[in-house]
Amino acid sequence: MSMTPEVTTYSIQDVAKAAGTTSRTLRHYQDIGLLMPSRTGHNGYRYYDGQALLRLQRILLLRQLGLGLPEITKVLEGTRDTTAALRRHLELLMQERDRLELQIASVKTTIDKTERGEQLMAKEMFDGFDHTQYKEEVEERWGKDAYAKGDRWWRGMSDAERASWKEQSKQLLADWVAAGQSGLAAESAEAQALAQRQYDWLASANDGQEVSFDYFTGLGDMYVADPRFGTNYGGEQGATFVRDAMKVYADGHLK
Amino acid sequence: MSMTPEVTTYSIQDVAKAAGTTSRTLRHYQDIGLLMPSRTGHNGYRYYDGQALLRLQRILLLRQLGLGLPEITKVLEGTRDTTAALRRHLELLMQERDRLELQIASVKTTIDKTERGEQLMAKEMFDGFDHTQYKEEVEERWGKDAYAKGDRWWRGMSDAERASWKEQSKQLLADWVAAGQSGLAAESAEAQALAQRQYDWLASANDGQEVSFDYFTGLGDMYVADPRFGTNYGGEQGATFVRDAMKVYADGHLK
DNA sequence: TATGAAGCTTGACGTTGCGTCAAGGTCAAG
DNA sequence: CTTGACCTTGACGCAACGTCAAGCTTCATA
């Protein structure tokens, strides 16, 4: 062993490369007092020796395990026991993992529900009327070529417009369901706002053609009569809620 | 189309409470253009209607699923398809979960290794010699029942004593490593102080039984020979440093 | 009507661990 | 002397708000 500790020192880049990190990180560690350079040149350059490199490696190891820098500081200065810190950290990690699992499950079911909702909305727009008792009336008011018109309208839109419209439809359905579930009254502002959106939605799908009182309320009745709508709108009482809200809206605005 | 929809409006607090969030969040959403108040009073007060409330609920739902606010913005304005966004997000979530699983495993094994490292220190004292060329000599000096004795000694301590001893062991190891890295000479006062502590440590683990010159120096040779020690003491040159220091100490103090 | 308690507003900083310019000094080589 | 590589010190940015701070407004009482 050498008497004079003629220690070899390394530039900041050398250390960074050797440890697989960046010079910015080393400066940061100095800023927070986690790892000081062993020497600073007259020009301000930072120089590190083997001891610092070793400490850095331990820092990076702990950081790779997910520990925070303040915690690492305490561990390295001996204030906190390593295994105790790791065990405590392990708890957090597992907790976080559990939270993620739940979130993943939620996202999966949401995707599922959204997809089914989307399909149903599309059907309702274009061929839903084929199966209802209001077919004749609807055809009378909207024309026998309602579907064809709707199709042209659909094709006339840009991709962005189509995406926007689909999204609106989905939102509308979701919002109706949410409103129905929350037990709102048909006369409530929220429900009426939804009815307004429903009106606009219908009108927009027909080139802004006016929607009559009769058609709007009739549509509401159809929602209750047709089990498909009950299913989509959260059960029979959901459809009832929608119909009632639409009726209130029609009474106040169309007539 | 619609006549003026006289909608009931709510204050910022009302909406926040209704949706289970805070007014600060609502202001933030306005700042980033995610949710604007439906009306702003002459006094600057924000007022929201049912439509805004529903939009907020959708926002919070998506956020609960982990989507970022920019992504939510795109989804709500129809720029991005909901299911596509959710699917993409799901990928990230599962990726993140996998990362967490790996980290959890790493932390677990690290805890394990650290603990066994401590045990190894203890075991090295008592049965580590089974794997070395010094086995016979050690058994001769320490007795064939060295491990059993050590075990009794260990069990005879209180929890506090055990903790203290473990801490001392770790500290000793850390100090050896630091000294080795800093390029100290084996003859230096620091190194000799460490050798002294090493001696005391060995003796303390054997009921104060005397440690011989041969055993002490032999142990030092073993440190160099056994790669496990090299690893613990900061590489081969670390072990060499420890051995040299122990030799110097033995020459001066043990016969 | 005066007043105090709520409730509202607009800043602006803090959080975590650096990445990423920006502007400029230092050093070895050609 | 110039070039290019490497170094320095700021300082902003990120994600999604939490948390004061200072100063209005509104509402319910006394």
- Residues A195-210 have pLDDT tens digits of 877 876 666 655 545 6
ipTM of this predicted complex? Answer: 0.61
Looking at the structure, do residues B154 and B239 belong to the same domain, yes or no?
yes
A65:B110 CB<8 A: yes
Contacts of A90 in chain B (CB under 8 A): 104, 107-108, 111
Is B192 part of any domain? yes
pLDDT at A141 over 80: no
Same domain, A75 and A118: no
**Range ranked top by mean pLDDT from A2-6, A237-241, B92-96:** B92-96
Q: Are residues B50 and B176 both part of a single domain?
A: no
Q: Do B50 and A193 touch (CB under 8 A)?
A: yes
The DSSP secondary-structure symbol of B131 reads G
- Give nucleotides in strand D with any atom < 7 A to a protein C-beta: 6-9, 15-19, 24-26
B10 to chain A: nearest residue by CA? A189
Domain boundary among A80, A104, A132: A80
Which of the two residues, A186 and A205, has the higher pLDDT score?
Answer: A186
Compare A115 and A44 and report the one with higher pLDDT.
Answer: A44
Residue that wins the pLDDT comparison between B94 and A111: B94
Whether residue A177 is predicted with pLDDT greater than 70 in this model: the reply is: yes
Closest CB from B7, B66, B83 relative to A114: B83
Statement to judge: residues A66 and A117 lie in one domain: no
Asked if residue A96 is part of any domain, the answer here is no
Question: How many contacts does A have with B, using Cβ atoms within 8 A?
Answer: 159
Residue A163's alpha-carbon distances to A127, A154, A157, A169, in angstroms, are: 20, 11, 9, 10
Q: Sheet holding A39-40: strands in order across?
A: A10-11, A46-48, A39-40
- pLDDT in tens for each of the 255 residues of chain B? 334 444 578 999 999 988 889 999 999 999 999 999 999 999 999 999 877 888 898 899 899 999 999 999 999 988 888 899 999 999 999 999 999 999 999 899 888 767 765 555 544 443 333 323 344 544 454 445 544 454 455 555 545 455 555 556 666 777 777 777 777 788 876 677 778 777 766 666 655 556 677 767 767 776 766 555 666 666 667 778 888 999 898 888 887
B70 with B134, same domain: the answer is no
CA distance B66 to B88: 11
Mean pLDDT of A26-49: 95
User: B72 and B156, same structural domain?
Assistant: no
**Closest Cβ–Cβ partner in A50, A166, A167 for B181:** A50
- Residue B65: φ, ψ to 5°: -80, -5
Residue A2: pLDDT over 70: no
**C strand bases under 7 Å from protein CB:** 7-10, 16-20, 25-27
* Nucleotide nearest to A41 in CA–C1' terms: D7
Percentage of chain A exceeding pLDDT 90: 31
Transcribe A134-158 into DSSP letters: THHHHHHHH-TTHHHHHHHHHHTS-
Please report whether residue B155 resides in a domain. yes
CB contact (8 A) between residue A194 and residue B244: no
Q: Domain check: are A63 and A163 in the same one?
A: no
Q: Which residue is nearest to nucleotide C7 (CA to C1')?
A: B13
CB A170 within 8 A of CB A124: no
With CA atoms as reference, the chain B residue closest to A64 would be: B103
**Which of the nucleotides lies closest to A27 (Cα–C1')?**
C18
User: What's the confidence (pLDDT) of residue B167?
Assistant: 56
End-to-end CA distance of chain A: 102
Is B102 domain-assigned? no
Span A98-108, average pLDDT: 93
Confidence at residue B48, expressed as pLDDT on a 0 to 100 scale: 94
Residue A114 belongs to what H/E stretch? Answer: helix A82-126
Are residue B55 and residue B138 in the same domain, yes or no? Answer: no
Looking at the DSSP assignment, which residues form a beta bridge with residue B10? B48
Mean pLDDT of the region A232-254: 82
Nearest CA in chain B to A197: B51
Nearest CA distance, B46 vs chain A (angstrom): 17
Indicate the pLDDT class of residue A128, thresholds 50, 70 and 90. very low
pLDDT of residue B73: 95
Domain extent at residue B47? 10-80
Instruction: Please tell me whether residues B73 and B180 are part of one structural domain.
Output: no
User: Is 50 exceeded by the pLDDT of residue A146?
Assistant: no
Estimate in Å the CA B21 to C1' D18 gap, whole number.
13
Question: Considering A58, A80, A102, which residue would you say is the last residue of a domain?
Answer: A80
Instruction: Report CB contact under 8 Å: B94, A83.
Output: no
Helices (H) and strands (E) in chain A, counts: 12, 3
Report whether pLDDT(A124) > 80: no
Domain count along chain A = 2
Q: Is the CB of B24 under 7 A from strand D?
A: yes
Contacts A160 to B, Cβ<8 Å? 78-79
Q: How far is the CA of A22 from the C1' of C23 (A)?
A: 21
For residue A225, name the pLDDT band (cuts at 50, 70, 90).
low
DSSP letter for each residue of A53-103: HHHHHHHHHHHHTT--HHHHHHHHTTSS-HHHHHHHHHHHHHHHHHHHHHH
Q: Which of A15-19, A26-30, A202-206 has the lowest mean pLDDT?
A: A202-206
Q: Answer yes or no: is B103 within a domain.
A: no
- At residue A162, the pLDDT reads 53
| pLDDT, mean of residues A178-186 | 80
* Confidence at residue B107, expressed as pLDDT on a 0 to 100 scale: 92
Q: What is the structure's pLDDT at A85?
A: 94
DSSP H helices in B127-212: 135-142, 146-155, 159-181, 189-204
**Nearest CB to B110; choose among A86, A175, A197:** A86
Q: What is the CATH number of the domain that holds A44?
A: 1.10.1660.10
In a domain, A232, yes or no: yes
Q: Same domain for B222 and B169?
A: yes
Evaluate whether residue B154 is within a structural domain.
yes
Using CB atoms, pick whichever of B87, B101, B185 lies closest to residue A3.
Answer: B185
Any domain includes B1: no
Domain boundary among the residues A80, A102, A129 is at: A80
In a shared domain, residues A137 and A220: yes
B129 and B184 assigned to the same domain: yes
